[in-house]
Amino acid sequence: MANKDSKSTFFCSNCGNEYSTWSGRCLACGEWNSLKEVSAEKVAASSGIGQKIAPQKLSGLKKTNPPRISSGYKEVDRVFGGGIVNGSVILLGGEPGIGKSTLLLQIIGKFGPTLYVSGEESAEQIKLRADRLKVKIGNISVSSTPDISGLEEEIIESSPKLVVIDSIQTVYDSRISGSAGSLSQVKETGLVLQQLAKKHSLPIVIVGHVTKEGVVAGPRTLEHLVDVVVYIEGDRSQEARIIRCVKNRFGNTDEIAVMKMESAGLIEIANPGAFFLADRQNSPGSAITVLVEGSRPILVEIQALVTPTVFGYPRRTTSGFDLNRLNILVGVMTKRAGMNLGSQDVYINVVGGISTREPAADLAICLAIASSYKNKSLLDGYCYFAEVGLTGELRKVSGADKRKKEAEKLGYKVGSNYKNIGQAIEKNLY
């Protein structure tokens, strides 16, 4: 604990909220013992507080669309809103081994002169991966300098068109206290990188490790500092990788790209619906729905398994779907459709590693549960999308025409004209 005469500030390691005094609990996120002390004087010095910048009148600025630089992959460009913007800061997150470094090497191999700042791997290791991926390495310069304060000199010397920081947890700013990866270092190095990107009109990609909750480790303020936040999702035991954009100051959010991991790297999948349904068999507990991710409709399979519970309290387990929403749907089916699920374990899986919170998947979830409970297959060649209300009624969802057109393109009919969940189960199972 700092003495009374010292100037300190306290950051929450969970949400990044700032306080002038220490307390046992963060008032913003409710986390206990998460406040860490940082010297306010050193933070102010590294952040450039006190610098004067003349204001600009918006009326005097010309209306221009930011130029886009293609990544070399149509799917990745879709996630970025059409390409990478000069001066933008991109945060790329994902679990270890999910393919972050692989994707970056494939992109920079087609991008042009790139400065690759690596604190985790040596230049020899990066070259070995690049050779395996058959990436052109003539324009790639690797720097192992961990001190962020000397990065601007390296940028001026090498004149890159892209800078990659792999990863933010391995670099540090010698002007402030704390080891690399600490709360203060992650926040302040992120701020320095943001200022460098704007000053030199240079795109910078920051790689960040994720926590067990699936968010970038360190203060959440790092996500507020950057222009674009992209996550790579998927099960490492499966081929599919979902590249999802959750923040984009230059385009739409919630856009996704679907790619396939092979020994030669990540390969674009032009038709994700056909890819996810390639091995699908019409069996009890299986239903097809159409999700809309950003501007793209995708057909996916919902699998359900309903078994008698062994213990007194039934289990509810999901993969790729919200558990709280599943509990609501199970309650609706018990009350409105007359299905005794109170003594049944219910397991839900969205096949392919996709995660969704869309209410459009409600109907398919309910039908898959009913199909497994009755041990009867649903009508073959049909897909389902509708929101299920608490009274059992079925509600329309956005983008219905887009979903229907995508389903018909893959040879599926849309199950519709149901008033409530009970009627939908009756027409598709009995």
- The pLDDT tens digits of the residues spanning 131-141 come to 999 998 888 99
For the cut 70, the answer to whether the pLDDT of residue 211 exceeds it is no
Cα–Cα distance for residue pair 328/47, rounded to 1 Å? 47
Percent of the chain clearing pLDDT 90 (strictly above): 52
pLDDT in tens, 20-44: 888 888 887 788 887 877 665 555 5
Integer angstrom CA distances of residue 320 from 64, 230, 317, 356, 371: 40, 18, 10, 6, 19
- Spell out the residues 6+ positions from residue 24 whose beta carbon is closer than 8 angstroms to its own: 32, 33, 35
Q: What is the pLDDT of residue 16?
A: 65
- How many Cβ atoms are within 10 Å of 391's Cβ, its own excluded? 10
Cα–Cα distance for residue pair 248/185, rounded to 1 Å? 24
Annotation: CATH topology of 274-429: Ribosomal Protein S5; domain 2 (3.30.230)
**pLDDT (average), residues 312-335:** 95
- How many Cβ atoms are within 10 Å of 305's Cβ, its own excluded? 17
Cα–Cα distance for residue pair 268/358, rounded to 1 Å? 24
For the cut 50, the answer to whether the pLDDT of residue 1 exceeds it is no
Residue 358's closest CA among 284, 268, 294? 294
* Residue 4 pLDDT level (bands cut at 50, 70, 90): very low
Whether residue 210 contacts residue 178, with contact meaning beta carbons closer than 8 Å, is answered with no
Q: What is the pLDDT of residue 243?
A: 92
| Structural domain boundaries in the chain | 8-44, 67-270, 274-429
Residue 284's closest CA among 358, 373, 350? 373
**pLDDT (average), residues 364-379:** 96
The angle that helices 421-429 and 323-336 make with each other, rounded to 10 degrees, is 80
Pairing of strands 394-395, 265-268: unpaired
Q: Which of 105-109, 218-222, 331-335, 383-387 has the lowest mean pLDDT?
A: 218-222
Cα–Cα distance for residue pair 80/340, rounded to 1 Å? 46
Q: How far apart are the first and last CA of the chain?
A: 69
Q: What is the pLDDT of residue 259?
A: 92
Q: What is the pLDDT of residue 106?
A: 93
pLDDT in tens, 285-309: 999 999 998 788 999 999 999 999 9
Main-chain phi, psi angles of 99, to 5 degrees: 125, 20
Can you name the residues that pair with 18 across neighbouring β-strands?
11
Cα–Cα distance for residue pair 331/327, rounded to 1 Å? 6
Integer angstrom CA distances of residue 255 from 66, 90, 231, 346, 413: 19, 15, 11, 30, 26
Question: Locate tokens 């930011």: which residue?
Answer: 66
Cα–Cα distance for residue pair 81/264, rounded to 1 Å? 26
pLDDT in tens, 55-72: 888 887 777 777 889 998
Q: Which of 45-49, 156-160, 194-198, 350-354 has the lowest mean pLDDT?
A: 45-49
* Residue 5 pLDDT level (bands cut at 50, 70, 90): very low
Q: What is the pLDDT of residue 277?
A: 93
Cα–Cα distance for residue pair 188/182, rounded to 1 Å? 10
Question: Locate tokens 């999948």: which residue?
Answer: 269
Phi-psi region of 99 (alpha: psi -120 to 50; beta: other; left: phi over 0): left
Whether residue 187 contacts residue 221, with contact meaning beta carbons closer than 8 Å, is answered with yes
pLDDT in tens, 143-161: 988 888 888 888 888 889 9
Q: Which CATH architecture has domain 67-270?
A: 3-Layer(aba) Sandwich (3.40)
Question: Locate tokens 């460098």: which residue?
Answer: 196
Q: What is the pLDDT of residue 3?
A: 46
State the virtual CA torsion across 365, 370, 371, 372 in degrees, nearest 10.
90
pTM above 0.85, yes or no: no
For the cut 50, the answer to whether the pLDDT of residue 2 exceeds it is no
Whether residue 207 contacts residue 167, with contact meaning beta carbons closer than 8 Å, is answered with yes
pLDDT in tens, 255-285: 889 999 998 899 999 889 999 998 899 999 9
* Residue 220 pLDDT level (bands cut at 50, 70, 90): low
